[in-house]
């Protein structure tokens, strides 16, 4: 497997982890434990601390995203250098969408840093919550990045029925559905 293919697998892994992470975050932001669905789950499932899983998947996804883009310049066929990672608009392939990937990484980093207990405490709950909402936008940005980027960096047109793209599309559908549900939940509680 070539380095660029490994990067693609890492990107898809991060996509799945971040999708699950956002879904868990939405659960945590609602009264999910009072839901009839939650109450019907087996005790072993309910014993899992969703907050811990949510946090660990975020850390793990951050590492995977970092590896996803840091190994691209190691493949000479990619024509990427480490300079392109710092200045994505100079990238040799799809610079706008490389920029979206970089923005996703930085937004994820901000959300994770501000979630650290000492920083969260200094920010206060309302400021922290407003910063944490960045993750919704980040989800959409990394979906666009994953959908449009050519995984082999050959600037090929998007193949919407490619299995990798179908995974991105499924994540997009899940996230958009969850965002709409979360918005309706918020409105119903006002």
Q: Where are the domains of the chain?
A: 3-189
Calculate the CA 67 to chain-centre distance. Answer: 14
Apex CA 68: angle with CA 164 and CA 51, to 5°? 85
- The pLDDT of residue 15: 97
Say if CB 151 and CB 4 are below 8 A apart.
Answer: yes
Of the ranges 74-78, 148-152, 164-168, which is most confident? 164-168
- The pLDDT of residue 34: 87
Distance between CA atoms of 69 and 153, rounded to whole angstroms? 12
Q: How sure is the predictor about 35, in pLDDT bands with cuts at 50, 70 and 90?
A: confident
Segment among 8-22, 26-40, 81-95 with least mean pLDDT: 26-40
Please say if the pLDDT value at position 1 is more than 80: no
- The pLDDT of residue 33: 86
> Which residues, in sequence order, are CB contacts of 136 under 8 Å at separation 6+?
22, 179
Considering the chain, what percentage of its residues have pLDDT values greater than 90?
79
Distance between CA atoms of 88 and 111, rounded to whole angstroms? 21
Distance between CA atoms of 148 and 104, rounded to whole angstroms? 14
Please say if the pLDDT value at position 141 is more than 90: yes
**Is pTM beyond 0.75 here?**
yes
């Amino acid at each position: 497997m070539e380095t660029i293919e490994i990067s693609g697998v890492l990107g898809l892994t991060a996509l799945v982890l971040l999708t699950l992470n956002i879904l868990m975050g939405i659960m945590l932001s609602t009264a999910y434990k009072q839901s009839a669905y939650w109450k019907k789950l087996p005790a072993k499932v309910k014993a899992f601390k969703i907050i811990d899983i949510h946090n660990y998947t975020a850390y793990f996804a951050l590492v995977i995203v970092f590896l996803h883009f840091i190994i691209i310049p190691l493949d000479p066929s990619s024509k990427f250098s480490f300079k392109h990672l710092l200045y994505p608009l100079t990238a040799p392939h799809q610079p706008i969408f490389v920029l979206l990937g970089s923005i996703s990484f930085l937004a994820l980093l901000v959300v994770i840093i501000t979630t650290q207990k000492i920083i969260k405490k200094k920010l206060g709950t309302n400021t922290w919550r407003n910063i944490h909402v960045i993750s919704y936008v980040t989800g959409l940005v990394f979906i666009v990045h994953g959908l449009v980027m050519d995984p082999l960096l050959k600037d090929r047109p998007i193949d919407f029925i490619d299995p990798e793209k179908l995974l991105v599309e499924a994540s997009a559908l899940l996230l958009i559905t969850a965002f709409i549900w979360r918005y309706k939940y918020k409105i119903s509680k006002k």
